[in-house]
C-alpha cells in the first residue's frame, strides 16, 4: 500500500508536504528485479483521499 500527494503538495491528512508542481511517489524496491526487466503492475484498488 502507498499514498501520494496531489499536484499542490498536500497529503491524505491535508498537510502540505511537498512543493507545487508534479510530485512523484517512488521509487519502489522490487525484490529480485534486475536492470532491463519489465514489470507488470496491477492496481487492486484506488481510494480518493477527498470528496
8 DSSP 8-state letter: T
**What is residue 32's predicted lDDT score, i.e. its pLDDT?**
95
**pLDDT by residue (tens digit) across 16-38?**
998 877 777 778 889 999 999 99
pTM: 0.53
**What is residue 15's predicted lDDT score, i.e. its pLDDT?**
92
How much of the chain is in helix, strand and coil states, percent to nearest 5?
Answer: 0, 5, 95
CA-CA distance, 12 to 49, in Å (whole number)?
A: 5
Contact 10, 49 (CB under 8 A): no
Average pLDDT taken over every residue of the chain: 86
Amino acid at each position: 500500500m502507498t499514498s501520494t500527494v496531489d499536484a499542490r503538495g498536500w497529503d491524505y491528512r491535508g498537510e502540505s508536504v511537498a512543493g507545487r508542481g508534479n510530485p512523484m511517489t517512488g521509487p519502489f524496491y522490487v525484490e529480485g528485479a534486475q536492470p532491463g526487466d519489465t514489470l507488470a503492475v496491477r492496481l487492486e484498488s484506488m481510494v480518493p483521499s477527498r470528496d
